Amino acid sequence: MQTRIKQLRLEKRLSQQALARILNLNQSTLSKIECGISIPDAILICDLSRFFHVSADYILYLAEERLNTDLLLANNMFHLKKYLDHMSMYQQLTPCQQKVCDSFMQNMLGLSP
């Protein structure tokens, strides 16, 4: 497990310190995990899985493929539901509110209206 986490971290060109900061960990904790001295808990494995966009099974060496089709489908369904929820809310806005919303989104993305 330690080499898989290190491999994923290096693929993203992150230092141990940078990844530890992202995951709210101490750098020495991550170092111990990568060296096999310590074992990550289930919550950390889930956080790593989400951050690296791989299955927990991949991190744990229980699968060779990074994402299985069930996980991909569940992930796509989650994002689709979120999209539909946002569209439903947007459609309930008045035309004036939609313009404000559009302007806000463009501003947040750094796009010119």
Closest by CA position to 59, among listed 70, 44, 49 = 49
Alpha carbons 23 and 8: distance in angstroms, whole number: 14
Tell me the three state secondary structure of residue 4. helix
Tell me: the pLDDT tens digits for 62-112? 888 887 667 777 777 888 999 999 999 999 999 999 999 999 999 998 887
Tell me: the pLDDT tens digits for 50-72? 899 898 889 998 888 887 667 77
Q: Which residues make Cβ contacts (< 8 Å) with residue 112, sequence separation at least 6?
A: 106
Superfamily of domain 2-59: lambda repressor-like DNA-binding domains (1.10.260.40)
- Residues 102 and 113 sit within 8 Å (Cβ to Cβ): yes
